Amino acid sequence: MSSEKLIIFDYSGTLSRDAALFAAPDDLMKHLSESGLKDFGIDNPAIFWEEIVNPAWTEGSLTSSGYKKVLEERLRNILYQNMSIISCVRISDAVSFFVDSYFNHSRIDHRWEAVLRKLNAHPSITTIIATDHYAEATGYIIKFLRDFRIQAVAANEAFSRPIESSFIVANSADLGVHKAGARFWEILKTGLNIRDIRSVMIVDDFGYNEQRGDRYAELKQVTVRQEKTVRMLESVFQAEIQVIPFMIEGGDLSQDDIYENLFAGATALIERYMASPG
C-alpha cells in the first residue's frame, strides 16, 4: 500500500454502540433469558463475566476457536456433573442463539456510513478497524461495511495476497496478539507494507464505553491506556499521532443525543484530517 495517512477505528463502543449496549446489565439479562442460557445458571451478569467470559477470553480473542466454541466449552466444563445428551444439545442451541444475537446486534452505527465511505474513496488514506475480538467478528464487520458499499478485507488475507482495498479489519483473533501490544501494529505495518505513513489518527474509546462500575477510576485507567497507545504508535510508525477520544459522557450509551454530539465532533476532525496535506 502506498498510503501516506493511516486512520484507526476501534470497534465495540466506538463504531458500534450497539455492541457495547448488548453487554449493559439489563440488556445482557434479556439476551441470556431469550437464548436459554439463564436456564443453565447464567442468571446474573457477574456469573456471565467472571465464570464464563473472562476465563476463556485469552483463547477466544487470540485464536481461531470463536465465541461459540469457547462459550460452549466453558459451560460444559462448569456443568459436567449434570450433563446428558439432551442438555448438551440444549447448551449448543442456547449458545448459538446467544452468539448470533450478539453479532447481529453489533452493527456499525448508521451515522458512520458517510464518513467511512469518504475515507474509502480517499486515495492516500488506509483505514484499519482494529479490535480485540472473537474470530467470528471479522466476517461480521466486513459484512456490515459491505452494507455501506465498502469493500473491506481481513488483515491476514491482505498479507497473503495483494488486494487493493483501503479498508482493513485487524482482529486480534486473526493476528494472535492484542492491539495493546506493539507486536500487533508491527505485524500490520510489515504485512500491509505501510512503512511510509506520515501521520496517524486513532478514534477509540480506550475501553471506557464498555466498562462498568466506578466511572472516575475507570477514566483514570483509560487516560493511562490512551497515553500508552499514543507512545506505542509513535514508536512503531515514527509518525505524528492524532487522537479522537470517543468517550461517551458518563458512559451512558443509551443517550442518543450524547452519542450524536460526540459523533459530530469526531466527524469534523476526521474531515479535517482527510483534507489536510499528507
CA distances from 60 to 66, 103, 262 (A): 6, 15, 31
Q: Which residue has the cell 474513496?
A: 121
pLDDT at 259: 86
Confidence grade of residue 90 (pLDDT, cut at 50, 70, 90): confident
For residue 63, give the 3-state DSSP assignment. Answer: coil
At residue 80, the pLDDT reads: 60
Rounded CA-CA distance 252/27 in Å is 13
CA nearest to 66, candidates 39, 99, 44? 99
Q: Give the model's pLDDT for residue 2.
A: 60
Q: 24 Cβ partners below 8 Å, 6+ apart?
A: 253, 254
Enumerate residues 6+ apart whose C-beta is below 8 A from 28: 22, 45, 48
What is the average per-residue pLDDT within 226-233?
Answer: 95
237 is written with which cell numbers? 510508525
Share of the chain above pLDDT 70, in %: 90
The per-residue pLDDT for range 248-272, each reduced to its tens digit, is 876 566 678 888 889 999 999 999 9
Check whether 83 has a pLDDT greater than 90: no
User: What tens digit of pLDDT does each residue of 174-190 get?
Assistant: 999 999 999 999 999 99
Spatial separation of the C-alpha atoms in residues 88 and 80, rounded to whole Å: 10
Burial 191-201, CB ≥16 within 10 A → b, else e = bbebeebebbb
pLDDT at 30 over 60: yes
pLDDT of 86:
47
Helix (H, G, I), strand (E, B) or coil at 123: coil
Q: Distance between CA 39 and CA 56 in Å, rounded?
A: 21
* 96-105, 114-123, 246-255, 263-272: segment of lowest average pLDDT: 246-255
pTM of the model: 0.92
> Residue 261, Cα to own-chain centre: how many angstroms?
21
Question: Under a CB-based contact definition with an 8 Å cutoff, are residues 31 and 102 in contact?
Answer: yes
* Greater pLDDT, 5 or 166: 5
| Burial zone of 118 (CB within 10 Å; 0-12 exposed, 13-18 middle, 19+ buried) | middle
Q: Across all residues in the chain, what is the average pLDDT?
A: 89
* Residue 33 CA: distances (Å) to CA of 4, 21, 51, 89: 49, 16, 17, 17
Q: Which region holds residue 78: left if phi is over 0, alpha if psi is between -120 and 50, else beta?
A: alpha
Mean pLDDT computed over 46-72: 94
Contact by Cβ (8 Å): 178, 131: no
| Window from 42-51, 208-217, 248-257 with minimum mean pLDDT | 208-217
Give me the pLDDT at residue 71, please.
Answer: 94
Out of 113-117, 142-146, 230-234, 274-278, least confident range: 274-278
- Cβ-proximal residues to 99 (8 Å cutoff; 6+ apart), any chain: 67, 68, 71, 136
Rounded to whole angstroms, how far apart are CA atoms 5 and 194? Answer: 9
The label of the residue with cell 499528507 reads 278
